[in-house]
Structure 1
Amino acid sequence: MKKIFCITGMAMALMLVLNITALAQDEEVKVRNANEDPDPVEVKGFKKENLFTGGGVTASFYSGGSLLGASPVLGYKLNDYFDAGVVVNYVYTGSRDVYNYNDKLRQHVYGPGVFARAYPIPFLFAQAQLEHNFTNVNYTASGSARISEKYSASATSLLLGGGLSTGRAKGGTTFFYLTILADVLKNRNSPYVDLSVDPNTGAEKVRIVPVLRAGVNVGLFQKRYNRYDPEY
């Protein structure tokens, strides 16, 4: 009799544990979903989960020189097709044989900018970026034809181009990207042009240097359970 009573008690205890576990699981699902309404939550105005950071690196190599830099960004996803943001730019440029054989030109460029991207499809985008850069230049002469000098300058650049991304999915802002851009303003003080001088006439020639940038977008304040995903 005691054995039967013990078995019955154990069975009742097991059923009680299973019921509590089931209730806990149901409650956990409610917390995970965060909303029992089948309709998506519509939040108007500024949405902090649309913010993203990240940035890219710059690399361009041409005959007699190179261009290297970094550009951290802070952006905002306007909608499923457009992003916009601000960028802080730093670029180092090194060139040789600028005016005479074996002379050297070193410059450090820094400045703010703004950008906009349009995504006709998730993995393809067009980009426009407006920058105003300040330049510190150190020129080292190789002979007596010119003297070494240092000077500062500034220039506004408008970079236009496009790129590929690993996929800008709806509801998310995290992905890798690769862009190719060109400074269409062609200011002689721009870090994105190649400046040469005709030794016979002294005339300057400004050539656009294609700029490659690889980077990453990292979404900020993303909801853990995809509350803002359109599928919910």
Structure 2
Amino acid sequence: MKKVVAVICCFCLVASSAWAQDEEETQKGFKKQNLFTGGSVTISFFNGQTVLGANPIFGYKLAKWVDAGIAFNFMYASQRYYYQYDDKIKQTVYGPGIFTRLYPVSFLFAQAQLEHNFTSFKYYAAPGSTMYMSGKINTSANSLLLGAGFAQGRVEGSNSFYYICVLFDVLKDINSPYVYVTTNPNNSTQQHATATPIIRAGFNIALFQKR
């Protein structure tokens, strides 16, 4: 936890420093043209599996090389034939988050995103099944996503561009939707979580861009 706090504090200090520096160069005060929205959408249908998701964002350009804002995460997934023929599962993940992006150059960025996600997992046993029973599990977890990305079309004077990034959940909570959990076959109470890569691609859309 101390490492997580240190990382968050580091990003906040860098963002604050950049904002202060930018204020010396430009007019002070809130600028509505620095507001942006956007995000990414996930749609997948394959072999009895359905995945639908959205990650909308709303943010503010603090300086030429620092963005920050809020985000909301939503994902729905369903799959048939999970354990046996004619059974199925449904999983829903949702939660709020905050993020910041640092741009060392105009087309590359480092990103930190803190989320708190709620997960609902439902299992529907096959009709007449004697091996498995239907059930529901609700969990929640904090996730700190760190990674880097590429921005296409991000130029000075414009806050609209396309981006793609790869993130990893460094907290690795076993209830996080971003980890792969394995169980010790000799001790079912021992579980290990491995962070899986999160690939997000979407658009940054300026709300009040100067013309």
Please confirm whether the aligned pair reaches a TM-score higher than 0.5, indicating the same fold.
Answer: yes
Instruction: Give secondary structure in 2 for the equivalent of 1:49.
Output: helix
Q: Which residue of 1 aligns with 2:191?
A: 204
Provide the residue aligned with 2:140 in structure 1: 154
Aligned residue in 2 for 1:77: 61
1:215 aligns with 2:202: yes
TM-score, normalised to structure 2, is 0.74
Looking at structure 1, the residues matched to 61 and 106 of structure 2 have their Cα atoms a distance apart, in angstroms, of 13
CA distance in 1 between counterparts of 2:176 and 2:136 reads 16
Q: Is the 1:125–1:164 contact (alpha carbons within 8 Å) kept by the matching residues of 2?
A: yes
Match of 1:107 in 2: 91
CA distance in 2, matches of 1:197, 1:104: 22
From 165, 168, 177, give the equivalent of 2:151: 165
Map 1:1-16 onto structure 2 (within 5 A).
none
Pairwise mapping of residues 90-129 of structure 1 onto structure 2 (< 5 A)?
90-94=74-78, 104-129=88-113
C-alpha distance 159-119 of structure 1, shift in aligned 2 (>3 A): same
Counterpart in 2 of 1:194?
180
Aligned-residue sequence identity (percent) comes to 51
Could you list the runs of 5+ residues in structure 2 that have no partner in the other structure?
1-24
Which of structures 1 and 2 has the bigger CA Rg?
A: 1
CA 1:110–1:182: 2 relative to 1, 3 Å: same
Alpha carbons of structure 1 residues 117 and 66: separation in structure 2 relative to 1, 3 Å: farther
Residue 140 of structure 1: CA displacement? 3.5
Taking a change above 3 Å as real, the CA distance of residues 214 and 120 of structure 1, as seen in their structure-2 partners, is: same
Tell me, yes or no, if the aligned pair for 1:128 and 1:161 is still in contact at 8 Å: yes
Give, in whole Å, the separation in 1 of the partners of 2:182 and 2:97. 27
Contact 1:58–1:211 under 8 Å retained in 2: no
Is there any run of 5+ residues in structure 1 with no aligned partner, and where?
1-40, 225-232
* Aligned mates of 1:219, 1:124 — CA distance in 2: 18
Name the one with the larger strand percent.
Answer: 2
**1:28 paired residue number:** none
Q: CA RMSD in A?
A: 2.8
Which string of whole-angstrom CA distances, capped at 9 and with x for unpartnered residues, describes residues 139-173 of structure 1? 24566555321122211111111110103212221
Question: Structure 1 residues 47 and 172, CA, compared in 2 at 3 Å: closer, same or farther?
Answer: same
1:88: which partner in 2?
72
- What is the match of residue 50 of structure 1? 34
Whether 1:178 and 2:188 are equivalent positions in the alignment is no
CA distance 1:198–1:59, change in 2 (3 Å):
farther
Return the TM-score normalized by structure 1. 0.68
Paired positions, count? 181
